[in-house]
Amino acid sequence: MTVYDRSKENPAGARTNRAALIGIGSMGLGMAMSLRRAGFEVAGFDVDAAAIARLVDAGGRGAASPAEAAEGADVVVSVVVNAAQTEAIL
C-alpha cells in the first residue's frame, strides 16, 4: 500500500524528488539530464572532476564523494563500469 507523505512537498505543493548518480560520464550525465527535465534535484559524483563540472553546468549539484551525493536522495543510481567500482562506492 502506498501512503501519501505530505512532508515531501514544498510550500507551493509540488513534490521535490531528489536523485543521486554515482558515475556521471556520458551515460550517467544523460540520465541526470533526463531526471532534471522530470523535475528531480540531482546530485552526482564521479572520479573525473570534469564530469562533475559538466553536471554542475547543467544545473545539478556536484559532490565530493558517493556518500555526499546520496545524502538525502530518494533514489541512488550507480552508473559505473564494473563490479569492482560498484563495490568501491558501497
CATH of the domain at 43: 3.40.50.720
Is 37 a domain residue? yes
Is 1 a domain residue? no
Is 43 a domain residue? yes
Look-up of cell digits 548518480: 21
Is 12 a domain residue? no
Is 41 a domain residue? yes
pLDDT digits (tens, 9 = 90+) for 10-56: 554 556 799 999 999 999 999 999 999 999 999 999 999 999 999 99
pTM above 0.85, yes or no: no
Number of folded domains in the chain?
1
For residue 24, give its domain range.
17-89
Within its chain, how far is the Cα of 67 from the centroid?
11
Within its chain, how far is the Cα of 40 from the centroid?
9
Is 26 a domain residue? yes
